[in-house]
Chain A
Amino acid sequence: MADLMQFDLVSPERSLASLEVTQVQIPGADGDMTAMANHAPLITTLRPGLLTVSGPQGETKYVVTGGFAQIGAEGTTVLAERAVNAAEITEEVYHDMVRSAHAAHQQAHAANAGDAVDDAAKLLADMVAIGGHIGLTPPNL
């Protein structure tokens, strides 16, 4: 039995989860990573993706966008600008998220904003990829 660590998932509007877990898989900006108890202290920004929390109570998945994760001695804290339990996410919500990413991409494209175009394109691709993980098809854009 692996050691347990404290895990908190907080969004600006409310705290979504606070429990003891064995491991958390985090969609970091530089790639996915898994945090377990006694992980070295680390702060990473998040890309839109799937956050998987495994603990004694089973496995829970959350769709998170934007924010950062802080892994410390006392546990892991994920602060996400938007976080939704993957089981509760509906096609409508998902499509809404993809569409807003798409709109941001087009806007950046129209403004010819250089780096912002790449960032927005990456965001859109991440969004579309989430759909594959949770079994939803992205809308036709």
Chain B
Amino acid sequence: MPSLKDLKNRIESVKSTRKITKAMQMVAAAKLRRAQDAAEAGRPYAERFNTVLAGLAASVGGSDSAPRLLSGTGSDQVQLLVVMTSERGLCGGFNSSIVKLARVRVAELRAAGKTVKILTVGKKGREQLKRDYADLFIGHVDLSEVKRLGYANAQDIARDVLARFDAGEFDVATIFFNRFQSVISQIPTAQQIIPAAFDQTGEAAADTTLFDYEPDEEAILADLLPRGVATQIFSALLENAASEQGARMSAMDNATRNAGDMIDKLTIQYNRSRQAVITNELIEIISGAEAL
């Protein structure tokens, strides 16, 4: 049975924890709004870019001269997984859900006899994957110093990935990130970026108009494909940032509520034991008086 003083101390400490989680929740909410705005602002560019690329890819794709970024290297032996996670923790299942998806993929690929390489973006995923796959790591991108995600960050990552592709280090690249659905739901997603893959809807929409191309289609495609990689990485980064704040917000909301419940329980316990002490003292006084 803890003493009254112990209980009081515990209540105080849980209260200050609640204050911290409450503050973190509010910070996350403010950041979430900004991240969501950024993700929304970036969407038109990515959508239009993909529409045009899909149209181009559909018309050039079949030919032998198609760029390797589109047609692939003709093999899928070496797979690069770009795993994007957060730089900070305390955001619920955000990082573990991405890591889990990446783990499943690694296991699948390995079972199929492929070689797997991993490039991590964000500290947390690196820490979690390190335990099992330290030997597969080929690089890490640190974004902890970045205050506001810019397109330049995505370009840096894309440049790194493209340089490795040109050097023949891998055949297929897939990015792993959380797609932002809502504050309580983020969907871990795997998206193939090299060779470029397009959904059918984009192609259908682009086919309706016949465009002139200047310079020719192949040159435009060769110019746009590397930019397309950067664009896809950028939108993944933005989705991820919004998801992270959303996940942190709901995690901290839960923590705040739990702390509240705990305080209620501890307060009841505290009051009961205080009552017990008072009753005890009364009994002692009364029995002492009776004995006289």
Contacts and interface: CB of A to CB of B under 8 A. Distances in A.
B220 interface: yes
A138 B234 CA distance: 30
A35 to B, nearest CB: 12
Nearest to A77: B48
Interface stretch (B79-87, B171-179, B206-214): B206-214
B227 A67 contact: yes
B49 interface: yes
A43 B206 CA distance: 12
B224 interface: yes
A12 B209 contact: no
Given A10-B48, A13-B41, A68-B220, A40 B212 contact: yes
Contacts of A90: none
A12 B45 contact: yes
Contact of A73 (B151, B209, B231): B209
Nearest to A8: B44
What is the interface of chain A mostly: helix, strand, loop, or mixed? strand
B215 interface: yes
Interface of B: 38, 41-42, 44-46, 48-49, 52, 56, 150-151, 154-155, 209-215, 219-220, 223-224, 227, 230-231, 234
In the A-B complex, the 5 residue pairs with the closest CB atoms: A14-B41, A44-B214, A12-B151, A42-B212, A41-B211
What is the interface of chain B mostly: helix, strand, loop, or mixed? helix
A72 B210 CA distance: 9
B138 to A, nearest CB: 21
A29 interface: yes
Contact of A72 (B41, B209, B230): B209
Contact of A45 (B48, B150, B215, B230): B215
B38 A13 contact: yes
A33 B178 CA distance: 41
11 contacts: A14-B41, A29-B214, A29-B219, A40-B212, A41-B209, A43-B211, A43-B220, A44-B220, A45-B220, A45-B223, A81-B151
A28 interface: yes
Given A10-B48, A12-B154, A77-B48, A42 B223 contact: no
A55 interface: no
Interface in A27-54: 28-30, 33, 40-45
Given A12-B231, A81-B227, A28 B151 contact: no
